[in-house]
Each structure stands twice: as structure tokens, then as C-alpha cells.
Chain A
Amino acid sequence: MAQLIREIRASYAFVERNFNLVRRYWGWELVWLAYSIASTLSITYIGAGMEAITGVQVDSNYLILYLLIGTMVWRFLAIVFDNISEMIAWERWEDTIEYTFMAPITRFTQMMGQTVFAVIYSLIFTAVILGVVALFFHLDLRNANLVGAAAMLLVGSLSFIGLGIVASVLPLLFPERGAQMTNVIQAVFLLISGVYYPIEVLPAWMQPLARLSPATFVLEGMRATILNGAPTASLWPYMWPLLVAGIVAVPIGLWVFRLGERYAKRTGKLKRNG
């Protein structure tokens, strides 16, 4: 019990520290928020412009909502992923990495703290974007099952947490370029997960890959709940692959991280000067 309290306290160290950092780098947060709003709007306007582009009558409202779900879900998952995958790169940059690694805490505790922060932060961030975007478009959500949508999102973030942990090890292995490599991972997921289109339009060989991406299931589930008002109980087909992916991805992430950490400590990649 005493041990558990220690570990929770230690997890909280990361939550508090990260919110302090957000506060101190608020200028940067603002820039990032403005960028995210602009890019969300520009994608959503594709839906509004479809009739003008094709000259064919389409259900613009449906299309707008379709694209908006894509950008918002993607944004949410990407922020969770980024916050976790950048934790090493960030501490390297701040030069605190040796002190965090020297502390008597398990990596699990550290990841827990980072994850709690990542999910809370991402929820706030995407809620703000959604609030602003709602001023630009008339969103008809009468049909939507929002509770189901929220459940989908939370279950979906589990596997992205695992992926984030795996990706966070890259800057440990490749001090110079590791952080950029995580962008490649993201880009591939963006392509195959049907963020802005149904995966059926992808080439046949890519479609099995789409089924490997947890984001595909999150997006399908979200669209079912928000566009078609699917009841929460009917979400099981989307939920169980996500739960399995999450339950597998998190321990694998921690395991890969352990290997990466050992490698870094063996080869002196944690830090070299001094």
C-alpha cells in the first residue's frame, strides 16, 4: 500500500510537471492551437465546397460532419501519441533525462503519468478546436450518440498509448533523428486508417493494413455513433479489436522501451557530454 502511494505520487510528478511546462510555454501552445484550428477548418471546408467542385448535389452537412469526425479523431489520437512519443526527446532537449532515469521509479509509473497528462491535455485541446469550428458550421448532432462516441475515443486511445511508448524509444536509439522518425509512423497511420475517406477506396493490398490500424476502428465507431446514432451497445464490433490492441500494445510498448533503455545504457546514448 505504501508502495502504491509512492508510485501514484511519482506518476503525478509527470502530470504536474507537464502542466507547468504547458503554462510556461503558453505562447507556443497558442501558435499550435491556431495552426490546428486553421487546418481543421480547411479540411472541413472541403465538405462545404463539394457541391461547387463537382456540380453534383451532395449532402454537404453529412460530408462536413464526416470530415470533421476524421480530423478531430485524428487530432485527438495524434496529440496523445505525440505527447507520449516525445517524452524522451523533450527531456533530452531540456537535458533532464539522466535525472528522470536515475529516479527510483518504474517505467510503468512514468508512462502512467505521461499518459494521464496526454489524455487530459488532448481532450481539452480538441474540445477547444471543436468549439471554434462549431462557430463556422451548422453542425446537426440531433442524431448523434455522444456518450458512445466518447467511449470509442477513450478505448481507442489505449492502443495509441502503446504505440506512443514504442515510438518514444526512437530518440533513445537515434539521438539525432529519432524524434523525426515518429512523424513517419504517424503519416503511415494517417494514410491507411481512412481518416478522410472510407478505407474501401484504398488499393486492395492496402486494405488489410487498414485493418491493422486501431485508428480505423475508432473512426468507424465514431462515424456510426455520430452520423447514424448507433446505440452504445452496438459498438462492440469496433470496441473489442481496440481493447485487444490496447491490452497487447501497452505491455509490448513497455517491453520495447526496456530493451531500448538497456541498449542506450550499454552504448552511452542516454547522454554523452560532461
Chain B
Amino acid sequence: MYDNMQIALDVSAVTKQFVKAKGLRWPWKRKNDDGRKPVVAIDNVSFTVRRGEVFGILGPNGSGKSTLVRCIATLLLPDQGEIVVFGHNVMQEEMAVKRLINRVSVEASFFKKLTPMENLLYGARLYGMEAQDSRKQILAILDRLGLKKEDVYRPMEEMSRGMQQKVAIARAFLTQPILLLLDEPTTGLDPRSKREVQAFVEELRDRHDATILLTTHDMQEADSLCNRVAILDEGRIVALDTPAGLKAQVGRSNGHEVTLEDVFMELTGKQLHREEEAA
């Protein structure tokens, strides 16, 4: 199914913390009070993704999924650890990495008044693509994703979230990344749009030699799309296996077949218990 030999992404011992200011304070008054509290978003995370694999990351809100994706996408600098994308270190060879990747985030992030065509053409030019060619490709991809021709020339702000998300996926796909970072690409989509996006991801995996890192809150989606899944909780990986392997780990089927949702509940429940104890 996938080429086991080549490593697409190697994340080793990555840690990232943020210092959060609690409200506004004069800089010289900030010292030694609790005004600034570090939040460990990613805590010593390591894993590798092989070429052609779809690698899923699950985890509760605030567990660090987007932070990890941003570290890989060169948008955040890790405090510790290394990230290597197809042999290129994210920190030392930023430009080489940028050429190989693209990303889809939860929010579509477009120039609202510009049309999908204008937005995507801007994206294509940034990646050094030739305009005439790009226009044809943009039309083809948007058509493949089910966007009507007249919508291609309408401002983004007049579109539904689902349509915007499809344009976002087109933007990422247009530059032919060999590592595609999908951060909750289907969140907030109706069941049909969700299916369409998932089918496109499958097509990318099977026909376009793309390696995909996917975060999602949809357990079924993870189960059906991902070759392997890591579960992140409070910035740490608490489990990493194939969906079947994870289910076997929990292996406690009281009446029904174990689902990834059971695994998720089992492995990320600590916080809940702790809060209950404290109360």
C-alpha cells in the first residue's frame, strides 16, 4: 500500500510552550507574579510518518494538534526537538520544506472580497507557478471538488463554509505538496460535503503519491482514512497504532464492537477524572 522505506516526516522529541499573559500588565510589574504562565502545548512528541501514509492525530480540544501542525508548517518554531520533512530540517532548511508542504486549516483563511480564482491564482504565483496553466488547473480542481463554475468568480464572502473549505483544499492541492497537512479539514461540514472531502483525500493518497497528516474530531473519519493514528492528550502522545491496533488495546467490548471513540474516551479521560476528584 505505501512505500515503507522512505520517511516522509520525522518528528523527534518536539516540545513547544507558550507564555500566556493574564490580562494587560506593565512589563516592569510583571516580574515574579503569576501574570505570565507557561502552557506546554506540545510535550516531547516523537513519531515518524512513512511516504504515502495517512497519519491521523486525534485529541481533545487544546491537546496541541494545531500547534504540532504549525511547527511542521514552519509557522511556529519548536522550543526543543527536531522535525525533518523528506530529509530537510524544518528549522535549517525552511525554504526547501516550504516547497514540499501545504496545509488546510479549520478556518478557510482567504481574502474575503476576492473570488476563489483570484485567491488561488495568488497562491499559485507564490509557489512560482505560471498563470495560464494555473487557471486551467484551478478550474479543474474546483470542478473535481464540486464547486459550480459561476461560484469560481464570486467573492469568497458570499460562500458557505463548506464551499470555502473546498477552495481551501484546492489551494493546498494546487501546489502539489508531497506532504499535506490537513488540520480538521471536515469540521463544520454537512455529511455530504464531508464525504466529498474524504473521498478527495482518499484519491490524493491513492493516486497522487501524497503523504497526509490529518487531525480530526471525527472518529469514524480517522478510522476509515488513516493508516495509523496517534492520540494526543495535554501535549503528549498517549497511544500510537493502527486503528485496529488501538481498538485491540482497549479491547473491552461491553456488548458492542469497540470503536475509536471508545479508545478516545478511555485514553483521554484523565483530565475529566482529575477535575471530578478535585471537585
| Chain A interface (Cβ < 8 Å from any Cβ of B) | 5-7, 9-10, 12-13, 16-17, 20-21, 24-25, 94-96, 98-106, 262, 265-268, 270-271, 273-274
Contacts and interface: CB of A to CB of B under 8 A. Distances in A.
Contacts of B67: 268
Contacts of A12: 125
Contacts of B103: 98, 102
Contacts of B76: 265-266, 268, 270
Nearest to B172: A99
Interface in B98-122: 98-99, 101-103, 105-107, 109-114, 118, 121-122
Interface in B59-95: 66-67, 70, 73-77, 95
Interface stretch (B126-134, B136-144, B198-206, B242-250): B126-134
Given A13-B122, A270-B75, A95 B107 contact: yes
Contacts of A10: 125-128
Nearest to A271: B75
A20 B119 CA distance: 10
A10 B19 CA distance: 35
Contacts of B113: 21, 24-25
Contacts of B95: 104, 106
A102 B73 contact: yes
B100 to A, nearest CB: 9
B65 to A, nearest CB: 10
Contacts of B123: 99, 103
Contacts of A267: 18-19
Given A24-B114, A268-B67, 20 more contacts: A6-B128, A9-B130, A16-B121, A17-B114, A17-B118, A21-B113, A25-B113, A95-B107, A95-B110, A96-B111, A98-B70, A100-B126, A102-B102, A103-B98, A103-B127, A104-B95, A104-B99, A270-B75, A273-B107, A274-B183
B155 interface: yes
Interface residues of B, number: 40
A101 B75 contact: yes
B77 A265 contact: yes
30 contacts: A9-B128, A9-B130, A10-B127, A12-B125, A13-B125, A17-B118, A17-B122, A20-B111, A20-B118, A21-B111, A21-B114, A24-B114, A94-B109, A94-B110, A94-B112, A95-B110, A96-B111, A101-B74, A101-B75, A102-B75, A102-B101, A102-B103, A104-B95, A104-B128, A262-B77, A265-B75, A267-B18, A268-B67, A274-B66, A274-B107
Interface of chain A, main secondary structure: helix
B171 interface: yes
A86 B171 CA distance: 25
A185 to B, nearest CB: 21
Contacts of B106: 274
A7 B126 CA distance: 8
Contacts of A20: 111, 114, 118
B109 A99 contact: yes
Contacts of A16: 121-122, 125
A174 to B, nearest CB: 12
A99 B172 CA distance: 10
Contacts of A266: 76-77
A245 B125 CA distance: 32
A102 B98 contact: yes
